């Protein structure tokens, strides 16, 4: 009989926590009490507001362990939260990590998950200051809370767009949706091409978001967790404007475009309704284009103008010479 590999059920909570800690950078001075006590204690950042957000990844809903490597689960659990901070113009500071783990999870996979989380945290100088570990008879749940900091005047929201503002998007969209299609059809043996990587390891636009906040170029901003169609409609609704989005100007990932076309789908519709890209959509007053150019020079991604805000409330996709209502984005409940 071969011995089964050890699982998380073979270790104490303290041992699992020290496994996580081995993948973290040493805490900075402002973490007065970190991991290991009843609660974390932090020194607030001077003259900054705190920006808080939480997001959970649930196995079977947000990821499929059959084709998502453990490092990618750890990476994505943090990335989706960093993306929300970026959308608010906030710099990442610290995180709390709460995990519900099936007893069958191997220690090796647990360690890889911690490594994926730790590597992304280190890159954005985000410090894990506490959390919780519990066993679950159900699917794995990775719940991450992050706290960021922003100057009062640098906070970005979904509410500031006005008619006449230009609409921009970062990077390219559709990659993650195409990657998910590929992973679903090819399974664990998938060759990790660009789109599959985009789905598994989204790169949150932290630098772009903080630059837009700091130089106050953007009048509104949000991240594209549920697709460009959803993002455009959220900003329009919350700002009380309409929008015209030019399909021909939307930057669509080239490999994704090929995949959608090969599948017999309209690449624009597939890209705008596909989720998980974690790019930023934002609006800019035309007179602040100069500020945006400064941001564009310093950001680590491209920025593309895709449309304009209009009076009224209609969000229109101008596609192949025709105006149509923007399709619905991805929704979790309906
Ligand atoms: Mg968001």
Could you tell me if 91 and 193 lie in one domain?
A: no
> Count of CB atoms within 10 A of residue 132's CB?
12
Domain boundary (114, 132, 154) is at: 154
Cα separation, 205 vs 219, in Å, equals: 17
- Contact call for residues 89 and 150 (beta carbons, < 8 A): yes
Within a domain: 287: yes
**Residue 276: its H or E element:** none
Could you tell me if 73 and 210 lie in one domain?
A: no
What's the gap in Å between 228 CA and the centre of ligand 1?
12
Could you tell me if 127 and 226 lie in one domain?
A: no
Within a domain: 228: yes
Domain boundary (106, 126, 154) is at: 154
Beta bridge partners of 63: 59
Cα-trace Rg, the chain: 21
Within a domain: 313: yes
Q: Is the pLDDT of residue 187 over 90?
A: no
Could you tell me if 65 and 112 lie in one domain?
A: yes
Cβ-proximal residues to 176 (8 Å cutoff; 6+ apart), any chain: 195, 198, 199, 202, 274, 275, 276, 277, 278
Domain holding 207: CATH number?
3.90.650.10
What pLDDT does residue 1 have? 62
**Count of domains forming the chain:** 2
> Count of CB atoms within 10 A of residue 2's CB?
4
What's the gap in Å between 79 CA and the centre of ligand 1?
11
Could you tell me if 133 and 257 lie in one domain?
A: no
Cβ-proximal residues to 42 (8 Å cutoff; 6+ apart), any chain: 30, 31, 32, 93, 94, 129, 147
Cα separation, 311 vs 162, in Å, equals: 8
Domain holding 56: CATH number?
3.30.1330.10
Could you tell me if 125 and 39 lie in one domain?
A: yes
**Residue 201: its H or E element:** none
**Residue 188: its H or E element:** none
What's the gap in Å between 222 CA and the centre of ligand 1?
6
Domain boundary (154, 187, 211) is at: 154
Phi/psi-derived region of residue 89, left when phi > 0, alpha when psi is between -120 and 50, beta in every other case: left
What's the gap in Å between 10 CA and the centre of ligand 1?
37
Three-state DSSP class for 221? strand
What's the gap in Å between 221 CA and the centre of ligand 1?
9
pTM greater than 0.85 (yes/no): yes
Domain around 101: 13-154
How do residues 266-325 score in pLDDT, each as one tens digit? 999 999 999 899 999 999 999 999 999 999 999 989 999 999 999 999 999 999 889 999
- Contact call for residues 86 and 206 (beta carbons, < 8 A): yes
Could you tell me if 176 and 303 lie in one domain?
A: yes
Cα separation, 307 vs 315, in Å, equals: 10
How do residues 64-77 score in pLDDT, each as one tens digit? 999 999 999 999 99
What's the gap in Å between 78 CA and the centre of ligand 1?
13
Could you tell me if 146 and 171 lie in one domain?
A: no
How do residues 37-94 score in pLDDT, each as one tens digit? 999 999 999 999 999 999 999 999 999 999 999 999 999 999 999 999 999 999 999 9
Q: What is the mean pLDDT of the chain?
A: 95
Within a domain: 197: yes
């Amino acid at each position: 009989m071969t011995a089964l590999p050890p699982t998380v059920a073979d270790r104490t909570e303290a041992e699992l926590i020290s496994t996580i800690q081995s993948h973290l950078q040493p805490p900075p001075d402002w973490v007065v009490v970190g991991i290991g006590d009843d609660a974390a204690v932090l020194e607030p950042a001077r003259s900054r507001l705190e920006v808080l957000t939480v997001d959970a990844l649930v196995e079977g809903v947000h990821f499929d362990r059959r084709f998502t490597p453990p490092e990618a689960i750890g990476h994505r659990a943090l990335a989706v939260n960093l993306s929300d901070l970026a959308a608010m113009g906030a710099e990442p500071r610290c995180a709390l990590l709460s995990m519900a783990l099936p007893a069958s999870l191997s220690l090796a996979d647990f360690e890889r998950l911690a490594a994926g989380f730790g590597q992304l945290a280190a890159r954005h100088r985000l410090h894990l200051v506490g959390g919780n570990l519990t066993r679950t008879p159900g699917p794995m749940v990775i719940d991450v809370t992050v706290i960021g900091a922003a100057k009062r005047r640098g906070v970005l929201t979904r509410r500031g767009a006005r008619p006449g503002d230009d609409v921009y998007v970062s990077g390219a969209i559709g990659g993650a949706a195409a990657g998910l299609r590929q992973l679903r059809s090819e399974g664990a043996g998938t060759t990790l091409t660009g789109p599959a990587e985009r789905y598994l390891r989204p790169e949150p636009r932290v630098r772009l978001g903080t630059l837009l906040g700091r130089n106050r170029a953007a009048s509104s901003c949000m991240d594209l967790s549920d697709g460009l169609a959803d993002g455009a409609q959220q900003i329009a609704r919350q700002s009380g404007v309409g929008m015209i989005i030019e399909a021909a100007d939307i930057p669509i990932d080239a490999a994704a475009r090929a995949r959608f076309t090969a599948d017999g789908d309209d690449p624009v519709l597939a890209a705008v309704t596909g989720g998980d890209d974690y790019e930023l959509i934002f609006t800019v007053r035309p007179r602040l284009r100069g500020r945006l150019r400064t941001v564009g020079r310093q950001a680590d991604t491209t920025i593309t103008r895709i449309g304009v805000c209009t009076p009224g409330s209609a969000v229109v996709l101008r596609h192949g010479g025709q105006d149509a209502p923007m399709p619905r984005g991805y929704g979790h409940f309906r």
